[in-house]
């Protein structure tokens, strides 16, 4: 498999695969609808909009009729639409879930419902983000920037597994993962360094298969060969990281927003750890970001 190094290549690759079935909860906002229509028209997904039919009809005046591959289940109430979409995934009627015009809190409650949700016992719910940053020649797979405030070692091990799975699904045969901290030195005064060193030791025993994992690493040496040269750092991941695992949500979220707001990064993201990928985008995200996230969700289906 040729590695996917740009998000446009992800879209192109998915067009040559069997379309996945996408259930969209409250898919009656313009950006979500446009993205879903493009995914269906491009052969990326077979889309079911659990949405307000009246509002869809109103939007059809500007957006045009729904393409082949899109069906509608009329449900005006956003929460009820979310429950119905989650049930479709749980019952095997859909492969991927997507959030539309429904509050994130309601979306997550439906996913996390112990009896009717999508999170298996013992699994950690997390969020994998794929970033295309103009300054880098490869995609970055990062976590967690949105869900877990302060993951412990057990949670970070699962987060790392999710990122490795995502990278491999993009054709990265031997992913390099950096366990991010403020420094490369292990210090009991900095728990992130101690936890990164523990995970590195577990990885050295072959826990994650064919992957290269190192830490603690500061962000500069994880991404810049020049920084490694200047600091005289000898790391098998240094300057070449495909994956960044952050010590806490503050670090990850600040990196994510700096990458998108200051470095012009393009983004695809999905909630993972669930029985099926769940696309979680902001209501303010544009249609392109939502389409890329749909493609990612479809890519991550086992």
Q: What is the pLDDT of residues 128-162, one digit of tens each?
A: 999 999 999 999 999 999 999 999 999 999 999 99
Task: Provide the mean pLDDT of the chain.
Answer: 95
Domains and CATH numbers, the chain: 7-119+274-299 (3.40.50.10950), 126-261 (3.40.718.10)
The DSSP H or E segment spanning 133 is none
If we measure between CA atoms, which residue out of 38, 50, 51, 46 comes closest to residue 11? 38
Q: Check residue 89 and give left, alpha or beta (phi > 0: left; psi -120 to 50: alpha).
A: alpha
Half-sphere exposure for 300 (CA within 13 Å, toward CB): 33
* Alpha-helix runs per DSSP H in 135-210: 153-169, 191-204
Nearby residues of 100 by Cβ (< 8 Å), 6 or more positions away:
24, 25, 26, 27, 28, 29, 32, 49, 51, 78, 81
Q: Which residues contact 247 (CB under 8 A, 6 or more apart)?
A: 180, 181, 191, 192, 195, 196
* Kind plus residue range of the DSSP H or E element containing 259: helix 249-261
pLDDT of residue 187: 96
Please determine, for residue 43, whether its predicted confidence score (pLDDT) is greater than 70: yes
**Residue 74 CB: number of other CB atoms within 10 A?**
12
Per-residue pLDDT at 285: 76
**286 vs 245 pLDDT, higher one:** 245
Q: pLDDT-based confidence at 283, cuts 50/70/90?
A: low
User: How far is Cα 250 from Cα 24, in angstroms, rounded to an integer?
Assistant: 29
How many whole angstroms separate alpha carbon 266 and alpha carbon 4? 14
How many angstroms separate the CA atoms of 298 and 113, rounded? 23
- pLDDT, one tens digit per residue, over 189-198 is 999 999 999 9
Q: pLDDT value at position 63?
A: 85
- Whether the pLDDT of residue 184 is over 90: the answer is yes
Q: How far apart are CA 38 and CA 92, in angstroms?
A: 23
No. of helices (H) and no. of strands (E), the chain: 11, 11
What does the alpha-carbon distance between residue 290 and residue 267 come to, in Å, rounded to a whole number?
9
Write the CA distances from 283 to 6, 100, 171, 203, integer angstroms: 24, 7, 30, 38
């Amino acid at each position: 498999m040729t590695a996917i190094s740009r998000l446009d290549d992800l879209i192109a690759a998915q067009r040559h695969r069997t379309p996945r079935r996408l259930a969209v909860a409250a898919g009656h906002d313009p950006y979500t609808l446009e993205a879903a229509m493009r995914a269906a028209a491009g052969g990326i997904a077979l889309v079911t909009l659990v949405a307000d039919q009246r509002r869809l009809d109103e939007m059809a005046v500007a957006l045009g009729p729904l393409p082949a591959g899109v069906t509608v289940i009329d449900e005006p109430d956003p929460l009820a639409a979310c429950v119905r979409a989650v049930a479709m995934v749980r019952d095997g009627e859909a492969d991927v879930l997507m959030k539309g015009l429904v509050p994130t809190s309601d979306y997550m409650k439906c996913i996390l419902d112990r009896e009717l949700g999508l999170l298996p016992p013992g699994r950690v719910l997390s969020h994998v983000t794929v970033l295309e940053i103009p300054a880098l020649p490869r995609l970055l797979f990062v976590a967690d920037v949105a869900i877990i405030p302060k993951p412990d070692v057990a949670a970070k091990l699962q987060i790392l597994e999710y990122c490795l799975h995502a990278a491999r699904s993009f054709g990265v045969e031997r992913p390099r993962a950096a366990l991010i901290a403020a420094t490369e030195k292990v210090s009991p005064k900095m728990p992130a360094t101690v936890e990164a060193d523990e995970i590195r030791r577990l990885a050295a025993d072959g826990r994650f298969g064919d992957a290269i994992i190192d830490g603690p690493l500061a962000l500069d040496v994880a991404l810049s060969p020049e920084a490694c040269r200047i600091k005289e750092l000898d790391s098998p991941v240094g300057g070449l990281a495909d994956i960044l695992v952050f010590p806490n949500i503050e670090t990850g979220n600040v990196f994510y927003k700096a990458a998108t707001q200051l470095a012009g990064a393009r983004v695809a993201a999905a909630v993972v750890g669930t029985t099926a990928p769940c696309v979680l985008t902001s209501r303010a995200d544009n249609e392109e970001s939502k389409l890329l996230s749909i493609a990612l969700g479809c890519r991550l289906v086992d």
